[in-house]
Amino acid sequence: MNEITKDTTIEEILEKYPDTVNIFMDYGIPCLVCGEPLWGTVEEAATKYKVDLDELLNKLNQTLQKS
C-alpha cells in the first residue's frame, strides 16, 4: 500500500501498519468494538465519528512515509 485513501479499509491499514492504531485513537475512532476490528473505510469512520477526513488521511499518510 503506497497511500491510504478514503476508500481504504481500517482493517487493511491496521493489518499492514499496526502503529496507526494510535492515530485512530487520537481522533476518537476506536479500532476495536466489542473485541472485533472496526469494519469499513476511513471515510465511513471519519463520518461516523465526526472527524475531518483530509486531516486524518494526511496524518495516516505521514506515518506511512516515516516507516
The pLDDT of residue 2 is 81
Distance CA 34, CA 1 (A): 28
Average pLDDT over residues 13-41: 83
- pLDDT for 1 beyond 80: no
- pLDDT for 34 beyond 60: no
The model's pTM is 0.85
Q: Quick one: cell of 67?
A: 516507516
Average pLDDT over residues 12-16: 91
Distance CA 34, CA 19 (A): 20
